[in-house]
Amino acid sequence: MLKVSNLSVVFDGITILDKISFTVPTGSTLAVVGPSGVGKSTLLHAICGLVRVSNGSVFVNETDISAIPAHKRGIGLVSQTGDLFPNMTVSQNIEFGLRIKHKTKADRTARVQELLEMINLSSLAHRNVMQLSGGEVRRIALARALAPEPRVLLLDEPFSGLDEATHEQLSKDVFQLLSDLSITSIIVTHEIIDAHRCDEVVTLKK
Amino acid sequence: MAEYMERHHLVSKTKTLLIAPVVFLSIFFVVPVTNTFLRYFRFSEFSSVLSSQPLRGVAWFSLWQAVVSTLLTLTIGLPATWALSRFTFRGARLARGILVAPFVLPAVVVAAGVLAITDSRGVTPILWAHVVFNVSVVLRIVGPRWSMVNHRLEHAAATLGARPSRTFTLVVWPHIADAVISAATLVFIYCFTSFGVIAILGGVSRRTLESEIFTQAVRLGNTTTATALAVLQALIISLVFLVVRQLRRSPSLSLHVSAPQALRTKPTHRLTPFIIIAIAVAVVASPLVATVYRSLVINGHVSFTAWRTLFSGSLPALSVSLQSVVTTSLVFAIAAACICVPLALLVATTSAPRALFSLPLVVSAATLGIGLIITFNTSPYAWRSERWLIPVVHAVIALPLVIRALEPATRAIPSSLRHASATLGASPFISWVRVDLSILKPALLRATGLSMAISLGEFGATSFLSRSGSTTLPIAIAQLLGRPGVATQQAGFALAALMIIITVGVMSRA
């Protein structure tokens, strides 16, 4: 379960987020919608621990993680552009979090293979990430975020900038995957159809 | 077909563009240096140098102090570069100005500043002066590269469980490694061929190969020994280049320029960048502040005597006026830039191998100085006493660095812009003037500033060529500081302080 309580982010007197509170039950998906510039991405970064929070708390399974640095929170993030490491192959990107956890090579290989099959991209294991299409980048970024088995997964407009057919297919696949894995997740999206695929919807307003 | 035509055109264009730079470098570098080696290099003398305990000691000192200086410079410079390229905060611009300013100062001025604090000569002051001078090299070379590392990649690594040190090793280092190696190589070469710093802070016992070459050639008249030392020096530097080439990786794939993060948004350890910058500024700025202090205080009492003497127009114990020295330095700097920048632009526009144009980095300024004296000694090439030869030499020395400064900008111009210009009726020359040059303006201004800075600070080769009518600021400062007498030395500090104030105020705004 993820609980955000009175979360505020203020920079130089400008309030980006003002006392945001919501709860995401374990295994369910929450959509966060709202106009551009309202602070949706900042909300995800604040939950991850990537930006400074002025007030409020973040709880994961009843534990207050507000003071815990980002790399120890166990919260995965799939950004808008994927942010794959350009100096690594597809496999190396996906196994990154597993190397950090000192998993054995055998375990890493098995997990990478498993995830590549989940996202239907097994043939791209050794591909240079600079050669991937937009849809493939999003899938690999998702696989990378899932590899270390995060407690919570955050997705920041994971389907933006894709053509309609790719968007539709990717959206279906991602939601199916999240459902199969029963992973607590938050998706920031502009698309109503994607918001309706989620269990709950939260609207941020200016 | 179009691709072949373009390649053919580029190859022809390359040959034409390189004529002027190659001729220039051949006349004022290759010929003098080759002449020196052909006339004065003896294998027997080289063997004597290698078997001479004192000279081996000089070579060893040159090597180990350069290595230690490089490591210390990276220790101070890399964290400061991280702080300034990844974060914005109040005072960052001033801190950057302070840290890059020493690069545009003559080495003798920096050395004078360290002397002002330590009041002693030896290894520690030498190492300190080298760090002060070269932190700016790290900032200038690694900084732009580090700012191109997309900070979202670091965020992604953090969300995957990587602590900051692992993120640096696995995500950031592959992108900046080349730049760090380049910076370290350059710092090593500067320290290895250190002359101005050694002249002020070396005392009797500490000499580098560069200062020994000068002593042997100019003071003792042993050109053969000086040449043998120059060969040894060039061999060591060449070896360094070869080793560095093996360490080079393929260029980083990320071309994204990542805007610095506002420090106030950093979730944890917000004081760390401040502390790092404070330490770096303390190390770099204190000699500069001390120089100004020593110019104003004698025996614990404030005295404006030295400054009054300077602005009265005379420099005690020297036969030139302040106005003459400043004018000479500025004229030489402008002339050097007028020669160097156009030549560097021609080279940077081509894809020719850079080996020839990197040679001035391998061969020391003192060796070049010897070559110029013996080559341009007889009619019709009796130029060694000509004033114009000094800015020409400055241009030779600055050329490799100015080419490196211009290359990223020239390579970033997409050929599609030239294609568009051509379809609108512009000839290749007009396209180059109207399209390329207008895009290159900021880079050309920076290159001009760099060339002028190198000229203003050049000491090694200028020492060989300088006459009474062509005394530059670094020469005048070194002469004043090297002579006995409190008043004379205070005048030296005052002149150094004047140069610091002008340079920090003007050049650091570039």
Q: Do B171 and A85 touch (CB under 8 A)?
A: yes
**DSSP structural state of residue B251:** P
Residue B397 · residue B365 · CB < 8 Å: yes
Picking from B160, B170, B264, the nearest residue to A144 by CB comes out as B160
Q: Which site among B88, B155, B159 would you substitute to test the A interface, given the most A Cβ atoms closer than 10 Å to its Cβ?
A: B159
Residue B201 · residue B109 · CB < 8 Å: no
* Closest residue on chain B to A94 (Cα): B160
Contacts of A185 (CB under 8 A, 6+ apart): A24, A28, A29, A30, A152, A153, A154, A155, A178
Residue B371 · residue B26 · CB < 8 Å: no
Picking from A70, A100, A101, the nearest residue to B267 by CB comes out as A70
Q: Sheet containing A55-60: give its strands across.
A: A14-24, A2-11, A55-60, A63-64
Length of chain B: 510
**Residues of chain A contacting residue B150, judged by C-beta atoms under 8 Å apart:** 83
Q: How confident is the model at residue B5 (pLDDT cuts 50, 70, 90)?
A: very low
Q: Distance between CA B123 and CA B108 in Å, rounded?
A: 16
Task: Give the pLDDT confidence score for residue B124 in this predicted structure.
Answer: 95
Mind telling me how many Å the CA of B262 is from chain A's nearest CA? 10
The residue ranges of DSSP E strands in B67-199, in sequence order, are 87-88
Least confident of A178-192, B253-267, B442-456: B253-267
User: Stretch B457-462: mean pLDDT, rounded?
Assistant: 83
Contacts of B14 (CB under 8 A, 6+ apart): B350, B351, B352
* Closest residue on chain B to A66 (Cα): B267
Q: Which site among B160, B169, B254 would you substitute to test the A interface, given the most A Cβ atoms closer than 10 Å to its Cβ?
A: B160
**Residues of chain B contacting residue A148, judged by C-beta atoms under 8 Å apart:** 160-161
Residue B7 tokens read as 């390649």
The residue ranges of DSSP E strands in B38-197, in sequence order, are 87-88
- Summarised one tens digit per residue, pLDDT across range B98-122 is 898 888 788 888 888 898 889 888 9
- Summarised one tens digit per residue, pLDDT across range B251-270 is 555 555 566 777 777 777 88
Residue A147 tokens read as 């590899």
Mind telling me how many Å the CA of A42 is from chain B's nearest CA? 11
**Residue where the block lists tokens 């007498």:** B485
Mind telling me how many Å the CA of B330 is from chain A's nearest CA? 45
Task: Give the pLDDT confidence score for residue B13 in this predicted structure.
Answer: 59
Q: Would strands A29-33 and A200-203 be described as parallel, antiparallel, or unpaired?
A: parallel
Picking from A50, A86, A97, the nearest residue to B155 by CB comes out as A50
Q: Distance between CA B298 and CA B148 in Å, rounded?
A: 49
Contacts of A45 (CB under 8 A, 6+ apart): A51, B155
Q: C-alpha angle B205/B211/B214, rounded to 5°?
A: 125
User: Stretch B292-302: mean pLDDT, rounded?
Assistant: 87
User: Stretch B400-407: mean pLDDT, rounded?
Assistant: 86
Q: Do A96 and B157 touch (CB under 8 A)?
A: yes
Q: How confident is the model at residue B509 (pLDDT cuts 50, 70, 90)?
A: low
Q: Which site among A7, A45, A71, A156 would you substitute to test the B interface, given the most B Cβ atoms closer than 10 Å to its Cβ?
A: A71
Task: Give the pLDDT confidence score for residue B120 in this predicted structure.
Answer: 86
Q: Do B152 and A70 touch (CB under 8 A)?
A: no
Q: Distance between CA A143 and CA A159 in Å, rounded?
A: 15
H or E element that contains B343: helix B322-349
Q: For residue B182, how far is the Cα from the chain centroid?
A: 13
**Residue where the block lists tokens 């590392």:** B149
Mind telling me how many Å the CA of A145 is from chain B's nearest CA? 7
Residue A65 · residue A58 · CB < 8 Å: yes
Confidence check: pLDDT of B72 > 90: yes
Q: How confident is the model at residue B453 (pLDDT cuts 50, 70, 90)?
A: confident
Picking from A11, A83, A150, the nearest residue to B264 by CB comes out as A11
Q: Which site among A9, A87, A129 would you substitute to test the B interface, given the most B Cβ atoms closer than 10 Å to its Cβ?
A: A87
Confidence check: pLDDT of B142 > 50: yes
Measuring CA to CA, which residue among B411, B405, B400, B413 is closest to residue B444? B405
Q: pTM for the whole thing?
A: 0.80
User: Over chain B, what is the mean pLDDT?
Assistant: 85
Confidence check: pLDDT of B508 > 80: no
**DSSP structural state of residue B302:** E
> In chain B, what are the domains?
9-36+321-470 (1.10.3720.10), 41-249+271-299 (1.10.3720.10)
Q: Would strands A2-11 and A14-24 be described as parallel, antiparallel, or unpaired?
A: antiparallel
* 3-state DSSP percent of chain B in helix, strand and coil, to 5: 80, 0, 20
Q: Distance between CA A4 and CA B24 in Å, rounded?
A: 69
Q: Distance between CA B154 and CA A131 in Å, rounded?
A: 21
Confidence check: pLDDT of B147 > 90: no
**Residues of chain A contacting residue B167, judged by C-beta atoms under 8 Å apart:** 71
* ipTM computed for the complex: 0.74
Contacts of B81 (CB under 8 A, 6+ apart): B138, B139, B142, B143, B146
* Closest residue on chain A to B175 (Cα): A87
- Summarised one tens digit per residue, pLDDT across range A128-181 is 998 899 899 999 999 999 999 999 999 999 988 888 888 898 899 999 999 999
Contacts of B340 (CB under 8 A, 6+ apart): B394, B395, B398, B399, B402, B451
Residue B24 tokens read as 């220039």
Q: For residue A97, how far is the Cα from the chain centroid?
A: 14
SS (H, E, C) B444-463: HHHHHHHHHHHHHHCCHHHH
Q: Which comes out higher in pLDDT, residue B428 or A15?
A: A15
Task: Give the pLDDT confidence score for residue B287 in this predicted structure.
Answer: 92
